[in-house]
């Protein structure tokens, strides 16, 4: 049985909504399930409550303003594939919709089971390809963690979302020695090992990223500095106690962490600079410890 494809149809004209729903329900091209929203406000509410595979969006909504309706839907769900329905075969309007974030457009005069099904399926495929390329560009290939590019975006989002935000900079201790003794392939395994521990202990709101080399960054929201120190200390203990076994060799790994609290209107670079100062202190006072810079 084909996977069900959930579609949000945003259409204020009941007769047209019924026609499109029937076309998709009896489509030979996919197993479609349709939810109808009769207004833009209804669509936004549905997107907030439910997950959809694609959206069919009429630009002539009573509470919408043409292309602005598309922008509003895209602002609520930045990833959903969107096919715009237009009242006529207006190439300029369709191109504007695509430039604004739609994957395709379809004139209502040309809607039939085949055209609407294929438009939705192709829109989903295009969006998945685009998201795949975007994920590759923002993911560290060795560890699978977000890279510095995505870290910057997460910092901007979280600094606006949370009243309290801390930045932790974690560096594997004596990593050059590990590479020199065991080789770079083992060094890569150590990076993957630590990345896995960082990821597994990040929780729901903490964002982890590979910063570069043997350094990792964590954005820790909604915790005072004392609670953040406790979290960081616990993470270091787990790294220390998780001995890595490779080809009969036992490799012990420790790390150090520098912590700082993000100040009002402070950017990522300044926060990282102060976290790096704290990390320097941790490295020069014995390693395998947490140091804080809130000066």
Instruction: Note the helical H segments in the chain.
Output: 14-25, 40-49, 67-76, 91-100, 113-137, 148-161, 175-182, 184-200, 225-241, 268-283
In this predicted structure, what is the pLDDT of residue 131? 64
pLDDT level of residue 50 (50, 70, 90 thresholds): confident
Please determine, for residue 1, whether its predicted confidence score (pLDDT) is greater than 60.
no
Rounded average pLDDT over 19-23 = 94
What confidence score (pLDDT) does residue 66 get? Answer: 84
Q: Which residue has the higher pLDDT, 11 or 100?
A: 11
End of a domain among 105, 137, 169? 137
Q: Which listed residue (91, 214, 215, 240) is catalytic? A: 214
Same domain, 128 and 155: no
Crossing angle of the two packed helices 268-283 and 148-161, in degrees rounded to 10: 110
**DSSP 8-state code for residue 263:** P
Would you state the torsion angle of the CA atoms of residues 106, 110, 113, 118, taken in this order, to the nearest 10 degrees?
-40
In a shared domain, residues 221 and 244? yes
Percent of the chain having pLDDT more than 70?
A: 95
214 catalytic per annotation? yes
* Statement to judge: residues 92 and 182 lie in one domain: no
CATH number of the domain within which 172 lies: 3.30.70.270
- More confident site: 5 or 91: 5
Query: 273-293: per-residue pLDDT in tens?
Result: 999 999 999 999 999 999 999
Number of domains in the chain: 2
pLDDT at position 135, please?
56
Cβ-Cβ contacts under 8 Å for 117 (sequence gap 6 or more): 23, 24, 27, 28, 29, 30, 32
3-state helix, strand, coil in the chain (%, to 5): 50, 25, 30
Query: Higher confidence at residue 77 or residue 158?
Result: 158
| CATH code of residue 59 | 3.40.50.2300
* pLDDT (0 to 100) of residue 221: 93
Rounded Cα distance between 71 and 75, Å, is: 6
* Mean local confidence (pLDDT), 85-106: 78
Q: Are residues 118 and 207 in the same domain?
A: no
CB atoms within 10 A of CB 43: 29
> By residue range, what is the domain housing residue 162?
148-292
Tell me how far apart the terminal alpha carbons of the chain are, to the nearest angstrom.
61
Confidence grade of residue 175 (pLDDT, cut at 50, 70, 90): very high
Q: Write out pLDDT tens, residues 177-213.
A: 998 888 888 888 999 999 999 999 997 789 999 988 8
What is the pLDDT, as a whole number, of residue 89?
58
pLDDT tier, 149 (very low <50, low <70, confident <90, very high otherwise) = confident
Mean pLDDT over each residue of the chain, to the nearest integer: 88
Under 8 Å between Cβ of 189 and 243: no
d(C-alpha 243, C-alpha 187), whole Å: 14
Question: Does the structure show a pLDDT above 70 at 77?
Answer: yes
pLDDT for 28 = 86
Within this chain, do residues 155 and 283 fall inside the same structural domain, yes or no? yes
Q: 84-109: buried (b, 16+ CB within 10 Å) or exposed (e) per residue?
A: bbbeeeeeebbebbeebbbbbbbbbe
């Amino acid at each position: 049985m084909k996977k069900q494809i959930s579609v949000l149809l945003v259409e204020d004209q009941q007769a047209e909504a019924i026609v499109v729903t029937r076309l998709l329900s009896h489509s030979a091209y996919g197993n479609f399930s349709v939810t109808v929203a009769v207004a833009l406000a209804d669509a936004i509410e549905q997107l907030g409550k439910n997950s959809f595979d694609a959206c069919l969006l009429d630009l002539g909504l009573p509470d919408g303003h043409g292309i602005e309706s598309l922008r509003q839907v895209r602002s609520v769900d930045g990833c959903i594939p969107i096919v715009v329905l237009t009242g006529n075969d207006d190439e300029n309007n369709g191109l504007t919709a695509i430039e604004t974030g739609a994957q395709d457009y379809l004139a209502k005069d040309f809607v039939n089971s085949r055209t609407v099904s294929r438009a939705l399926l192709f829109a989903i495929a295009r969006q998945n390809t685009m998201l795949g390329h975007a994920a590759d560009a923002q993911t560290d290939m060795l560890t699978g963690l977000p890279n510095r590019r995505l870290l910057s975006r997460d910092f901007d989002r979280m600094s606006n979302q949370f009243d309290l935000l801390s930045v932790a900079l974690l560096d594997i201790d004596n990593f050059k020695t590990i590479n020199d003794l065991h080789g770079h392939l083992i060094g890569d395994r150590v990076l993957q090992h630590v990345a896995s521990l960082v990821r597994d202990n990040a929780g729901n709101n903490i964002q982890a990223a590979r910063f570069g080399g043997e350094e990792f960054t964590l954005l820790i929201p909604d915790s005072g500095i004392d609670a953040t120190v406790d979290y960081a200390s616990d993470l270091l203990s787990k790294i220390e106690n998780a001995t890595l076994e490779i080809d009969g060799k036992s490799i012990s790994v420790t790390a150090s962490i520098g912590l700082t609290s993000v100040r009002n209107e402070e950017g990522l670079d300044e926060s990282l600079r102060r976290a790096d100062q704290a990390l320097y202190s941790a490295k020069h006072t014995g390693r395998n410890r947490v140091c804080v810079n809130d000066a």
